Amino acid sequence: MREICEVTKVHPEVVENVQNQLADLSEVANLFKALADETRLNIAYALTIEEEMCVCDIAAVIGSSTATASHHLRYLRERGLAKSQKKGKQVYYSLSDSHVHQLVTIAHEHAKEGVHDAKDIPS
């Protein structure tokens, strides 16, 4: 099956309707860019399993130095995906809210389904 229209026919009412409702998605794009890095996504996913983790534990989970983990965590925090709290001499991170938790969880579930569904699609 060819995946392009065989004839060009624009539907002006559809285009106008969508253009009138299209939102500024630049912040959404930034959110997905932040999670597009596999290390940061692993960190976010780890924080869906354990609600709060210290930088040292996150570094151990992703197999990196604390400096590297801290860099990625700061990146997530600056983009509103994670939050931090100092407790004594350690800094603990968690996801910023339930929306981030849902995004990561749903994306993971979708990816798992996609692997199975892709096998069913004929080449």
For residue 66, tell me if it sits in a domain.
yes
For residue 92, tell me if it sits in a domain.
yes
pTM: 0.82
Task: Report the number of distinct structural domains present in the chain.
Answer: 1
Domain span at 114? 33-120
104, 45 Cβ separation under 8 angstroms: yes
Cα distance between residue 39 and residue 16, in whole Å: 40
For residue 108, tell me if it sits in a domain.
yes
81, 68 Cβ separation under 8 angstroms: no
For residue 24, tell me if it sits in a domain.
no
For residue 47, tell me if it sits in a domain.
yes
CATH number, domain containing residue 68 = 1.10.10.10
State pLDDT tens for residues 5-49: 888 899 999 999 999 999 999 999 999 999 999 999 999 999 999
Q: CA torsion angle for 11, 13, 14, 15 (degrees, to 10)?
A: 80
Q: Put residue 26 in one of left, alpha, beta given phi > 0 → left and psi -120 to 50 → alpha.
A: alpha
For residue 17, tell me if it sits in a domain.
no
State pLDDT tens for residues 53-107: 999 999 999 999 999 999 999 999 999 999 999 999 999 999 999 999 999 999 9
